[in-house]
Amino acid sequence: MPDINEKMNAVVCHAPYDYRLENRDTPRPGPNEMLLKIVACGICASDCKCRSGAAMFWEGDDPWVKAPVAAGHEFFGEVVELGEGAAEHFGVSLGDRAIAEQIVPCDKCRYCKSGQYWMCEVHNIHGFQRVVAEGGMAEYLKVGPTGRVHRIPEEVSEDDAAFIEPMSCAVHAVNRGDIQLDDVVVIAGAGAIGLGMVQIAHLKTPRKLIVIDMVDERLELAKKFGADIVLNPARDDVEAEVRAVTDGYGCDVYIEATGVPAGVVQGLNLIRKLGRFVEFSVFGKETSVDWSIIGDRKELDVRGAHLAPYTYPVTIDLFARGLITSQGIVTHRLALADFQQGFELADSTDSIKVLLKP
């Protein structure tokens, strides 16, 4: 087993655009806690929105971000220290590769007690709340007693392991769409998680799988991952194309993964009456729509998709069996010290998924 350094480097969030590489004390686990030596941590679109000062993270009497906090929730690592009882508590051994889910549930509120832990009322998430939920953009991360931990088998590659968190979110979002064999499914947004959704939706074998994005390179990947039709709104008449393959009715399922208000408005226009609209994105600003479309005109089934409840084992198994991949999605791997460059890349169309490696 590797020696555990007394000090560690971490990317620490202090305020919007104030992220610093700092040398901190390495946390040590107590009873039913464990220490991960981080192998890689991805930069999520929500990390970029947090860094740029999106209101949902910083505003209000009790802002969600409790700075200073080590950033990052898309991590995996090696188990290097186990507190008393932690091996049995988490079902892991020293040397295992493991991942902790992004949420740190309280295990006390009505949602946690009913098994709906991903909607925990306290809702601490790794990388956003200091002490309780420090993040994986660091050399080490301590997982507390309420963390939900999963072992990663050796046949899962390093890039795939680093993509387990976003792919697990994709699995949950696609499951929320309740895709049937004769459905026409539209996925709007072919970013990292959107491309994960394409792979999962393809495994559901809908009649037609349509992907919409403004970046042709991402659309080419979507085709490789199983999309039947790819559309670029800058060039294609998206509504006409969707109606052409649905006898004029519109798609059965629309999954919104663009993170921009236009994706919501587009979806309400593209979806058929009585269709299923799945909203996944984290938005940096408010979105306005004509709500009469949802009720009076179409009676839509609008479903949210939040985090990745109960989907980590499914995702890990799919990766282990080679049925899904991060190849082509993970585009950049940078040293932790190069985090500023990593954030700039992650917040542009020059990358899809950027990994930071301590």
Q: pLDDT of 106-146, one tens digit each?
A: 999 999 999 999 999 999 999 999 878 899 999 999 999 99
Instruction: For residues 150 and 180, state if they share a domain.
Output: no
pLDDT value of position 52? 93
How many domains, in total, are found in the chain? Answer: 2
pLDDT value of position 59? 87
Instruction: For residues 148 and 95, state if they share a domain.
Output: yes
Q: What is the domain-level CATH number for residue 291?
A: 3.40.50.720
Domain that residue 335 falls in = 7-163+326-357
pLDDT digits (tens, 9 = 90+) for 189-206: 999 999 999 999 999 999
**C-alpha distances out from residue 228 to 185, 198, 238, 347, Å:** 10, 10, 14, 28
Instruction: For residues 78 and 119, state if they share a domain.
Output: yes
Instruction: For residues 192 and 279, state if they share a domain.
Output: yes
Instruction: For residues 185 and 294, state if they share a domain.
Output: yes
Pairing of strands 208-212, 184-188: parallel
pTM here is: 0.96
pLDDT, mean of residues 37-53: 95
Instruction: For residues 274 and 349, state if they share a domain.
Output: no
Q: Is the pLDDT of residue 1 over 60?
A: no
pLDDT value of position 131? 79
pLDDT, mean of residues 296-307: 97
Q: What is the domain-level CATH number for residue 17?
A: 3.90.180.10
pLDDT digits (tens, 9 = 90+) for 340-358: 999 999 999 999 999 999 9
pLDDT digits (tens, 9 = 90+) for 214-223: 999 999 999 9
pLDDT value of position 276? 98
Instruction: For residues 159 and 183, state if they share a domain.
Output: no
Angstrom distance (rounded) from CA 209 to CA 229: 7
Tokens for 61?
């009497």
Q: Note whether residue 195 is domain-resident.
A: yes
